[in-house]
Structure 1
Amino acid sequence: MTTILLVPGAWITAAAYEPFTQALKAEGHDIRYASYPSLDPPSLSIQDCQADTEAIAAVLRPLVEEGRDVLLVLHSYAGMPGAAAAVGLSRSQRAKEGKCGGVFGLVFIGAFVVPEGLSCAGLQGGNLPPWILLDQPSPHLNIASDPVRNFGADMDPDSVKLLMAELRPHATLAFTSSQPHPAWADKEFEGRSAFIVTANDVAVPKEAQFGMMAATQKTWIVKEIEAGHCSPFFTKKQETVALIQEIINEIPGV
């Protein structure tokens, strides 16, 4: 059985992904979830990308040490700390050490693929997009303007209502701090990194998604879905589950 560790995008809490996780469970997958401190932070003292990486790794590492084969599914901002959390935990590396289990693949969904040392803002010329409203609701936090348009324009009203109820402020430092070393850059993840392109995405446009992949100079397993930023987890959840299964089938040795 594959264990899928889902890591959320910025601003979005676990409950919003429930329709998607239930669809994955229905296909027989073991589903786990990892959040991080920059999402609706209780404190503004530790909420950079490194702290988020450590929080995800604290969930991931015990799964690997139990001998589980883990697929990381990373949405939006999660592509940054999620990829870093997998470093040193690949299944192939652990097998060489005589250990069972490990991360056998990374799946990015409309997600950020950022080189080590660069921030999310740095990737975009040093500035965050204008739809990210800085210092709202208070200094060092941010929210998204017009989340219906940016995240859920192609979603049904009930799904939009659920998503809107689960949006929270995010720590700005997460977007302006440096990317720790990402696992997709390592040889252990050659042929094991995949990207589901959200073709109708307003928040992270399709062109930007392909551009980030191209900049890595790595080979990616690429799938595309006619979806906005969050609809893969709501109105397009069955198609997304099917694409994840296709990816699992294409990763060597699975």
Structure 2
Amino acid sequence: MAESTTILLVPGAWHSPDCYDLVAQQLEVAGYKTDKVHLPSFSPLNHHLDFEADVSQIRKQIESACNQGQKVIVVAHSYGGIPSNEAIKGLDLKTREQSGLPGGVSHLFFCCSFIIAEGQSLISAFGGNDLPWFMISEDRLEVKPATPDEIFYNDCSQTQVDSAIAALGPHSYQVFHSRCTYAAWKDVPSTYLYCLRDAAIPISVQEKMVKETAEGFGVATQVVDASHSPFLSKPEETALAIRRSAGEDI
């Protein structure tokens, strides 16, 4: 099973896809192929006004794996879940099979990510207000996190925190206002990884998205006692959770 599955790793805002390296190593040892997405809205030369470039990049990499006959598990962290949902439209396994095409997205794995309905954006999911730790440029094109050590890495070692902060980059702010037109979790089997110590998306908000927004769509849940960055603080547990979502009995 593993060799026929590609796990596509989509980071959240401000993060390079290299943040997934510890998890990717675990998955590759278990026999899976992995691929990482560099979001165009992360540290761009010119800031993007919507999430279309992110959607396009994710979709391109999904299609590449599908065309090799691979089942694709999309692992999305934080903001990454929003363009990932949009990118999956028409690329799920069932639709591809019905069209006589190889491969397809077999599972969507939310790593303390956003589950939002059609017509919603990241900002609207928070009631239309910027979060207090958003540092937004005067032209409202760029956003940085004010206290990443507290918000993203509150259970990491100081060495991990220093390394992670050094790897952060500015993000295109306006992508947070892009509204989804498709909710992949309605059509694709999905798993949500609850992160109990998350200071960016508190566990109460995570649970509300799963139990209210996605009510009735059978989103499975797993739990890790970690911050907003379980791929750094709990890479083994995160990799095992992803493998379970792939159907492994472990």
Report the TM range for the smaller structure's normalisation.
over 0.9
Q: Which residue of 34, 39, 45 corresponds with 1:36?
A: 39
SS of aligned partner of 2:233: coil
Match of 2:234 in 1: 236
Match of 2:121 in 1: 119
SS of aligned partner of 1:249: coil
Tell me if 1:200 matches 2:201.
Answer: no
Cα RMSD over matched residues?
1.7
Quote how far apart the aligned CAs of 1:15 are. 2.4
Would the aligned equivalents of 1:37 and 1:47 in 2 still touch at CA under 8 Å? no
Quote how far apart the aligned CAs of 1:154 are. 0.4
Would the aligned equivalents of 2:81 and 2:110 in 1 still touch at CA under 8 Å? yes
Tell me if 1:75 matches 2:74.
Answer: no
Match of 2:15 in 1: 12
Q: Matches of 2:45 and 2:186 in 1, distance apart?
A: 32
SS of aligned partner of 1:21: helix
- Aligned AA (1:180): T
After TM superposition, list the pairs within 5 Å mapping 1:141-152 onto structure 2: 141-152=142-153
Match of 2:158 in 1: 157
Match of 1:248 in 2: 246
Provide, for residues 111-146 of structure 1, a one-character-per-residue CA deviation record: whole Å limited to 9, x for no partner: 01111111111111111211111117x741011011
Quote how far apart the aligned CAs of 1:91 are. 1.1
Provide, for residues 142-193 of structure 1, a one-character-per-residue CA deviation record: whole Å limited to 9, x for no partner: 110110110111011222122111100111101112123121133xx2xx11
SS of aligned partner of 2:228: coil
- Aligned AA (1:20): V
Quote how far apart the aligned CAs of 1:199 are. 1.0
Please report the TM-score for the alignment, with normalisation by the length of structure 2: 0.92
Q: Matches of 1:93 and 1:57 in 2, distance apart?
A: 15
Tell me if 1:178 matches 2:173.
Answer: no
Provide, for residues 212-234 of structure 1, a one-character-per-residue CA deviation record: whole Å limited to 9, x for no partner: 1221222111001100001x112
Match of 1:223 in 2: 222
- Aligned AA (1:145): A
Would the aligned equivalents of 1:152 and 1:228 in 2 still touch at CA under 8 Å? yes
Match of 1:98 in 2: 100
SS of aligned partner of 1:54: helix
Q: Matches of 2:114 and 2:96 in 1, distance apart?
A: 26
- Aligned AA (1:104): S
Quote how far apart the aligned CAs of 1:250 are. 6.9
Q: Which residue of 62, 65, 68 corresponds with 1:66?
A: 68
Match of 2:168 in 1: 167
Quote how far apart the aligned CAs of 1:35 are. 2.1
- Runs of 5+ unmatched residues, structure 2: none
Match of 1:27 in 2: 30
What is the percentage of aligned positions where both structures have the same residue? 31
Please report the TM-score for the alignment, with normalisation by the length of structure 1: 0.91
Provide, for residues 12-52 of structure 1, a one-character-per-residue CA deviation record: whole Å limited to 9, x for no partner: 112222222112212211110112221112212x3412331
Quote how far apart the aligned CAs of 1:98 are. 2.3
Runs of 4+, deviation exceeding 3 Å: none
- Runs of 5+ unmatched residues, structure 1: none
- Aligned AA (2:243): Q
Q: Matches of 1:25 and 1:165 in 2, distance apart?
A: 26
Q: Matches of 2:102 and 2:91 in 1, distance apart?
A: 11
- Aligned AA (2:64): P
Q: Matches of 1:13 and 1:98 in 2, distance apart?
A: 35
